[in-house]
Structure 1
């Protein structure tokens, strides 16, 4: 595949200019317009008014917004608490029904906000003419609740040029002499109720970094985590939990701060009733005598332990609970599977006991406390076999840990608590850990989470992000989609990389940087770095004079081209943008490109050394140099900005021999051969076999039953084609929903058609995805894909098939048609089931 060409821009000044929207109500704009509000002018930033006694979350967000205004304008805004202190244009922020100033504006008819009353996290931003005597104009941010006001303020911050990653990725804020907000009123609200991320697998990265910077994952560290979450318009956090960490017990200020700033705290899928798993092993809670994590044999101690968690949740000074989303259910100790003989009835009794505790401690029916039950791994199997879940509890389905959602509700299956999805950008487990770098294609995330939304999973979206860094880009996308999945159309998805780059680095270089992050994700998703080794890809033939680089060399060439473009782009940046660029763009490209070069050199060394070819020695040198460079790249990351990120990139990634990491990076073995070597000369790669047909290269696309075919660029190997809207019921050949491909064969014989699909799973619980294939006007053949993880039977064919699919991020199915004439043919791909994502076709002739 040819590398995309990067288009460079003309000046560093242009890079600093964001794309200002000026044609819609309450848009942030660089120039004045009729009725516009001057947020920043030659007189400095507008004043900021928040009622005395406002909710602490609103005050905290107002503090953040004021800091942002100061960063942009160079002057801190004047802070006031009553209308008689206003001396000019003013920003007013508060909660409807809890702000005297806002409620007075409503009563006077100056603002209208009835449409957000009682809504979850809704906000309205309104430019108001003459809100008070001697005040020409106000910008009013009205929240339906406290987080609505928070999101309304941070929405303005991002649009005026403050990235949510300003602290977390050292994204600089550019000074502005003037910022205006266009006239009118704008309403917004999230479509998914709970949206957040899970800090997991956080040793040695996040953990060692937090210890060095803050003394541990305490309230000082979490203050930055909470700020990031809220600026990304998320609201829910599962905190770091690898032993010996316990969010609520390690620093009592953690939960207090979370509640004060408006973050909903939960615990991971296997930590019931706000209890960290490590707390059980500490044996420090009153009344708990320890024992085995087994409800069948140790129920009394477990109930006491869980009760302590809910009592702590209710220990807020005003008698209200700390805002929480309570995990219920149970897995084995340390997130292991429960015993094979675990009865469904036992799990149901566990949940019944937990809900009794919740009701007893809170003094309210259990359904009045938000709860979630994660149907992770074997727990989903119990659910599929009939396990009953209380109707008010959110059912949290999961992916297979590699980005394929396993189960979703049926369209007719509605429940009071609703459904959610637990998704993974990071994972510890078979067939291999992947924790080091971002290897996520946002296009795949979009496809799976759009399907989830269409199928009704709208109560909770939770993503495992490992150490937070380096998942900045996909996490931004995940929470953007979670805020309004319906707005993340294929067109919005295609614009997202450039939009993200513009918001992070400015308008001038957005196209180039958006192209870089897209190309990186495309290459990284083909095989995760922990799965790379010297045998990952084929080398070409060897002659006494030349080496054929083979498929391995072709892949290395793609990384080399990407690195060259990334370095050229870097030269156009301002010096103050270099740290952010290194973290968000340069480091992953350099680090993974270097890893490919390392294993490529090892592969050639071993190939040549086995033949006593002295050219092996040059490759040994190259491999050792790449290994040393890997350490240097990591050190460069840790040295950034006065060692602000020291420890964050400490994750082991070289030398995997099984599913679990080695303790440290291990230089792959190389061999040196005695003798003089000829200069190394490569020849172009010679490929053999049938050329693939990209799915997007169809000659006809026929829709039906409300479905249309759409090409999703950069999904999979190049682009994929899906039938939209997702979530629709199966179709038949009679419905006519199909793609047609014109092919030509040079000889007669049996025709083989192989389809390459993005790995996906049957989310209905049936275990099979179907598509149809026909040739010319012949009958349709149905292909059935039974891809499914089988972790309880690691040696089964099903598990081997799943391993192969997720390791190479592709699934291939094949069908043969009886002897055919030479010449032109039409291959037809028929839609049958939802969630089938076509990437390529390979058509070949098998001679008779």
Structure 2
């Protein structure tokens, strides 16, 4: 209910439209304060001046089409002058300040106040104006401060009318309304938070390229390159970017050359209003290495040996782009997005940048102020190292900081860098090819984390340019929109409401009510959380523990629940909305769930085989079914809407064995046991929770020797967050049997006392719990549970399992977390006390991270605290055990990098009671331009999406304690705390949260 109330500020209520990016100005019911766009099937004509920008006139045509799609009414688009008579219907007049003679005449004749947008980048306003022109008594006037300001104003109205920016790219149906109105005071928007906001089409093989080849070129492609990315493809992309309030594009680069493949593309980009650039590795508006290799096939990309040729090549690129709005990439990298040779040095790169500056003067004029030409220097990988080692570029060049390719920004501008006239920006990844594994199949980025990282960029003034590596683009629609929209208007979102972005998005895309929109938001939050814990490409059969904390089983069940939730929403939708929901939500859920469950089943299959359990074969069969179903789901996607998106989910994702994509999906290994042969130890297999062993018989996991091991046991205490233990009773071969379970203690509760096992029902789970803890004495209580099997023609088989039930007591008056089964586990947001200092306190980021949420110091500050003087979190806990007087704490933090520069590596302080605080630099140092060695690897920081900060505490007595986490550096995000009192078991996510009293 609270969530629904929070959404009221963002959602369309009653007769008002939904506005995700700003306040609503569109409504569907008349009032005295509203201007009629369409009423009683009569539409206001749209007037645009013939001297306005061609891109504005083109967008006005989209605007008219959008109104017609929403209402069915016919709308006139008129190239008008100040003397045009639009007829009886009050018109909508659209234009750009200083470019449209219509708009300038209105401003001059009415004295309309445009001071809030005059001269401001991409700003706009709209409102009803009385007597705007001779013969027109009233009009709704839409004014942009510049070309894109006008275009954004049009598309903002279209979105509020009911046309999704994704109407073509995700087949979102237009929401129909018979009447449309706009508030007389209209909509307005100042300059965006981020000046340039764009996407980078990258890693476009096999999906995007094969799709485009089929849909736009019939497989022929451009001469010389074979690229399918022609102007027909790009105009679809240009319109989408503008509707999303973006303005900037790095085009597809592998085997493609934007301006070279289709000469119309560069012209059309400028006409539409898209600022073009070349990527971080492609200087001076050239597609490198593609164009260079074609034009100079026998010339090495070596600036020392071939600088004249390379300068000529760059000169041609600038001459080609001169008349179009562009941002120039400066500097130089090697072919294939690799570093230059080992001989590269700072002096050489200084010369490269000087020569590139000279080329700009040569093209634009020796007296031309080249500082007015937008230029970037991408501090990507080793290039950041050059910068840290002293390489400088002109002050007017934008420093483009990069993330680590996994959504963790490597560094933000420090205070001394924030006064550069070129400013700073961010290159951010939703897709990546490289170590430790590619990830380019499905959405794996949490919007909550994107917000956390990019909100720091805003506060550190990295707002000149944002570019997002979106891979094939199609799997990341929602995240692209959030990033571009956040860059357009960062004031819209905060930690308190960022999760409501998806709810608003769901309402707009699927025309659902608020309750269903919240359900969709929860589905998306869980989908991206599950995929962000560990990218699908990094999953293995043993990622999640098969034996402890029921981790693998809980993950499996969570995927199943997510499938059911998504299916429920999918089935409730009108048929027209199902294709878009399938693309944007349902397929990602079904396919990710299928893959996640496949790996878990493969792990369980291998474990059961080692335990001589007949259910091994059932799991093998089910795993094979899931593997085949993966392709069936892909086929369903490709057959949507008569194959509109054929190839788009073609990316391989199963069976990675090194960083690069496998050439074919391959099933994780599964095995089988001989179903016709009895296990050596007999018909019944007994497997208690928490062990890889199985009884009777021998198994290396039963005891140290692996043979002649004692009966198994399970442990439980009265503060365990999992209140029971289980024993699996399984078949050890083809012989069916019945079994009984009984205990020698009345306080033991069994979920069942008998059962039947056969090849058709090869196992049954029996849960063991304490019926009433008050019946037990303090301390250890032990009971025996005997499992007896009766199989035809065989002697009875009996196995005992011992239950060790530990009853603990907490001192009177204590409030806090209590140790259960030797562990205290705490979600970071559940602090007992949150102590602020200097108006800074720890703040929860709801939904962020692997389990529940994250906490981070807020507001962001450049201030650094000594341990013990800054904001702190306190966690009261009670422990019963220590390991010889020792406790081990592990604070799980997000894999963040340095927000304040390399001289301020991220640190936190951890303190137990009054012992000395331990200050930990949890991100190791690295060479300039490099990441710490612990960062990569299949079990590194980014693969696991977590960094573990460990601490050892000595001379700790049982009883009440307080753990404190001190802020030292800003931007640290803490997710979870685990305190080991001797019972911690290995798992991926850590034990479930402890009980509180």
**When the two structures are superposed, what TM-score results if normalisation uses the length of structure 1?**
0.92
Structure 1 residue runs without a partner (length 5+): 8-13, 315-320, 542-548
**Whole-angstrom distance in 2 between the partners of 1:791 and 1:530:** 29
Pair 1:16–1:639, CA change in 2 (3 A): farther
- Is residue 16–residue 28 contact of structure 2 (8 Å, CA) maintained in 1? no
Q: Distance in 2 between matches of 1:380 and 1:21?
A: 39
Task: Give, in angstroms, the shift of residue 134 of structure 1.
Answer: 5.2
Q: Which residue number in structure 1 is paired with residue 486 of structure 2? A: 481
CA distance in 1, matches of 2:567, 2:401: 41
2:825 pairs with 1:692 = yes
**Residues of 2 paired with 1:201 and 1:76: CA distance?**
43
Q: Counterparts of 1:228 and 1:21 in 2: how far apart (Å)?
A: 17
Q: Does 1:728 align with 2:726?
A: no
Equivalent of 1:251 in 259, 262, 272:
262
Residues 272 and 306, structure 1, Cα contact 8 Å, conserved in 2: yes
Contact kept, 8 Å, 1:266 with 1:326, in 2: the verdict is: yes
Q: Verify the 8 A CA contact 1:169 1:580 in the aligned structure 2.
A: yes
Residue 367, structure 1, aligned to residue 371, structure 2: yes
Q: Hey, what does 2:593 align to over in structure 1?
A: 593
Asked if 1:751 is matched to 2:887, the reply is: yes
Indicate the residue corresponding to 1:127 in structure 2: 128
Counterpart CA distance in 2 for 1:21 and 1:477 is 13
Match of 2:38 in 1: 40
Task: Indicate which of 192, 206, 215 corresponds to 2:194.
Answer: 192
* TM alignment of 1:61-80, pairs within 5 A: 61-80=59-78
Determine if contact 1:122/1:143 at 8 Å carries over to the other structure: yes
Map of 1:664 onto structure 2: 664
1:798 to 1:604, Cα distance in 2 relative to 1, 3 A: closer
* Equivalences, count: 819
Per the TM alignment, residue 177 of structure 1 is displaced from its structure 2 partner at its CA by: 1.0
Partner of 2:178: 177
Gap change, CA 1:715 and 1:59, over 3 Å in 2: same
Query: In 1, Cα distance between the equivalents of 2:487 and 2:161?
Result: 22
Q: In the superposition, relative to structure 1, how do residues 386 and 833 fare at CA in structure 2: closer, same or farther (>3 Å)? A: same
The answer on 1:769 being equivalent to 2:909 is: no
String of CA shifts for 1:751-779, please: whole Å, max 9, x gaps: 32211111101131236211112223443
Q: SS of the residue aligned with 1:116?
A: coil
Judge conservation of contact 1:356–1:366 (CA < 8 Å) in 2: no
Tell me the secondary structure at the aligned position of residue 112 of structure 1.
coil
User: Which region of structure 1 is more displaced relative to structure 2, 816-825 or 414-423?
Assistant: 816-825
Give the Å deviation of 1:157. 0.9
Deviation for aligned residue 1:595: 0.5
Mapping for residues 505-516 of structure 1, pairs under 5 Å: 505-508=510-513, 509-516=516-523
- Structure having the larger proportion of residues in helix: 1
Please report how far the alpha carbon of residue 583 of structure 1 lies from its aligned counterpart in structure 2 after TM superposition. Answer: 0.3
Distance across 1 between alignment mates of 2:938 and 2:627: 31
Maintained 8 Å contact 1:411/1:456: no
User: Which residue does 1:708 correspond to in 2?
Assistant: 841
From 372, 387, 409, the equivalent of 2:391 is 387
- Pick closer, same or farther for the CA change 1:32–1:18 going to 2, 3 Å: closer
Q: Residue 280 of structure 2 corresponds to which residue in structure 1?
A: 269
Deviation, 1:95, is 0.8
**Secondary structure of residue in 1 paired with 2:552:** helix
C-alpha distance after superposition, 1:296-330 (max 9, x if no partner):
2221111111111111113xxxxxx2111111111
Any residues of structure 2 matched to 1:230-379 within 5 Å, and which? Answer: 230-242=242-254, 244-284=255-295, 288=296, 290-314=298-322, 321-363=323-365, 364-379=368-383
How far apart, CA to CA, are the structure 2 residues paired with 1:728 and 1:278?
41
Residues 757 and 837 in structure 1, CA contact (< 8 A), matched pair in contact too: yes
State the alpha-carbon separation in 1 of the partners of residues 474 and 15 from structure 2: 26
Change (3 A) 1:728 1:45: farther
Residue deviations 1:416-446, cap 9 Å, x none? 1000000000000000000000001001000
1:281, CA displacement in angstroms?
Answer: 4.6
- Which residue pairs with 1:435 in the alignment? 440
Displacement, 1:390?
Answer: 0.8
Structure-2 change in CA distance of 1:5 and 1:49 (3 Å): closer
Aligned residue in 1 for 2:805: none
Tell me by how many angstroms 1:180 deviates.
1.4
1:502, 1:641 → 2: CA distance? 22
Paired with 1:721 and 1:173, the residues of 2 have a C-alpha distance of 39
2:386/2:928 contact within 8 Å kept: no
The CA deviation string for residues 130-150 of structure 1, in whole angstroms up to 9 with x for no partner, is 434554432211111100101
Equivalent-residue separation in structure 1 for 2:434 and 2:262 (angstroms): 30
Question: CA 1:840–1:325 in structure 2 vs 1: closer, same or farther (change >3 Å)?
Answer: same
Q: Report which stretch shifted further, 293-302 or 415-424.
A: 293-302
Distance 1:44 1:689 in 2: 73
Bigger relative contact order, structure 1 or 2, given CA contacts below 8 A and separation 6+?
Answer: 1
Q: Within 2, Cα distance between the matches of 1:17 and 1:613? A: 62
Q: Quick one: distance in 2 between partners of 1:685 and 1:443? A: 38
Distance 1:520 1:95 in 2: 43
Q: 1:59 aligns with which of 57, 60, 63?
A: 57
Asked if the contact 1:72–1:174 (Cα under 8 Å) also holds between the matched residues in 2, the reply is: yes
Q: In structure 2, what is the equivalent of residue 107 of structure 1?
A: 108
Are the counterparts in 1 of residues 165 and 240 from structure 2 also a CA contact under 8 Å?
A: yes
CA deviation after TM superposition for structure 1 residue 5, in Å = 13
Aligned equivalents of 1:236, 1:685: Cα separation in 2: 59
- Pick closer, same or farther for the CA change 1:295–1:190 going to 2, 3 Å: same
CA apart distance, 1:632: 0.7
Runs of 4 or more, structure 1, over 6 Å off, are 4-7, 14-18, 684-688, 788-794
Conservation of the 8 A alpha-carbon contact between 2:17 and 2:160: no
Q: 1:787 to 1:150 in 2, by over 3 A?
A: farther
Aligned equivalent of 2:27, options 14, 23, 29: 29
CA 1:550/1:745 → structure 2, altered by over 3 Å: closer, same or farther? Answer: closer
Which residue in 2 is equivalent to 1:149?
150
Aligned pair 1:396/2:400, yes or no? yes
CA 716–644 in structure 1, closer or farther in 2 if over 3 Å, else same: same
Matches within 5 A, 1:630-649: 630-649=630-649
C-alpha distance in structure 1 between counterparts of 2:531 and 2:934, whole Å: 25
Per-residue deviation, 1:187: 2.8
Q: CA deviation at 1:463?
A: 0.6
What pairs up with 1:395-544 in 2 under 5 angstroms?
Answer: 395-413=399-417, 414-508=419-513, 509-540=516-547
Provide, for residues 210-258 of structure 1, a one-character-per-residue CA deviation record: whole Å limited to 9, x for no partner. Answer: 000001111111111111100000000000101x211110111111110
Distance 1:745 1:801, change over 3 A: farther
Q: Alpha carbon RMSD of aligned pairs, Å?
A: 2.6
1:627-671 Cα shifts (integer Å, max 9, x gaps): 111111111111111111011111011111000011121233333
Q: CA deviation at 1:721?
A: 0.9
| 1:185, distance to aligned residue in structure 2 (A) | 4.7
C-alpha displacement at 1:202, in angstroms?
0.5
1:223 to 206, 217, 235: 235
Note the C-alpha offset of 1:732. 2.6
Going from structure 1 to structure 2, the CA distance change for 1:424 and 1:790 (only over 3 Å counts) comes to farther
Decide whether aligned partners of structure 1 residues 784 and 165 sit closer, same or farther in structure 2, where only a CA change above 3 A counts.
same
Cα distance in 2 between the residues matched to 1:17 and 1:586: 29
SS at match of 1:449: helix
Measured after TM superposition, the shift of residue 691 of structure 1 is 4.2
Q: CA deviation at 1:803?
A: 5.3
Aligned position for 1:827: 963
**CA gap 1:445/1:792 in 2 versus in 1, 3 angstroms:** closer
CA deviation vs aligned residue, 1:559-598 (integer Å, no higher than 9, x gap): 0110011111111100000000000110000001000122
1:715 aligned counterpart, secondary structure: coil
Distance in 2 between the 1:75 and 1:482 partners? 35
Please report how far the alpha carbon of residue 33 of structure 1 lies from its aligned counterpart in structure 2 after TM superposition.
2.6
User: Higher Cα Rg: structure 1 or 2?
Assistant: 2
Sort the Cα spacing of 1:19 and 1:524 in 2 relative to 1 into closer, same or farther, 3 A. farther
C-alpha contact 1:20 1:30 (8 A) present in aligned 2: no
Q: TM-score, normalised by structure 2?
A: 0.79
